[in-house]
Amino acid sequence: MWIPLDKGLQELVDYWKYMVYDNMDSRLESIFVAADDDNSGDLDYPEFTDLIERISRTEHSTLTSRSTLRMYSQMSLHEKVDAAVFAKVSRSFELAKINVGKPGRPRRDSKTAQERATVFKLLKGHWQHLEGKVLPLVYSLKHTSRGHVMEEVVNLLRSLLREEEDAENAVHCFRCSALSCMPDSLCSQR
């Protein structure tokens, strides 16, 4: 049986599109179900970070730590981080993207140990002054979605300051904490 080359290539492309794009929703749903450890139907920040770590270990992930934080921030804008919200945001960040070919070289960290130590020293000093303003706000918003997100950011910041490993995430968490203490009138002027 003789098959024209154009027809064979078209069928191959159609099959590839079916495997990659048509199955993306089911792939994202299975990723969500695997990450939802407590089966609550709501992905909290620790479950999300575990998910990202697992993806980074098994696949060549293009997500940076900054885009990971932005991704969860977008998800937490919704009342509940359910499978639909997870899938929508994951598509925009290409979380379920299937990489083809060899992974690229890992980027080299340009920060020296001395620069990182300086960043953490400054952050720790500023956090000592800011912590007294942030914690009462977190406590007053404890039973709201914003309070929950703020509490997770504060816990992450404390962990990063203790470990002194990820300066970029620490600065981002500090900035989020500082902005949460600003009056709404100042935030709207920015």
Q: What is the pLDDT of residue 99?
A: 52
Among residues 28, 61, 92, the one where a domain terminates is 92
In a domain, 80, yes or no: yes
Distance separating alpha carbons of residues 5 and 7, to the nearest angstrom: 6
User: For the chain, how many structural domains are there in total?
Assistant: 2
**Whether residues 25 and 86 fall in one domain:** yes
List, run by run, the mean pLDDT of 10-residue segments along the chain (190 residues): 75 71 71 84 86 71 75 86 84 64 48 78 88 85 83 87 84 82 49
In a domain, 140, yes or no: yes
**Whether residues 16 and 79 fall in one domain:** yes
In a domain, 157, yes or no: yes
User: Residue 11: which residues within 8 A CB-CB, separation 6 or more?
Assistant: none
Q: What is the pLDDT of residue 188?
A: 42
**Whether residues 82 and 151 fall in one domain:** no
**Whether residues 86 and 121 fall in one domain:** no
- pTM higher than 0.85 for the full model? no
In a domain, 84, yes or no: yes
Q: What is the pLDDT of residue 29?
A: 78
Residue identified by tokens 């992450």 is 156
**Whether residues 131 and 59 fall in one domain:** no
In a domain, 100, yes or no: no
* Enclosing domain of residue 61: 11-92
For position 72, which CATH number holds? Answer: 1.10.238
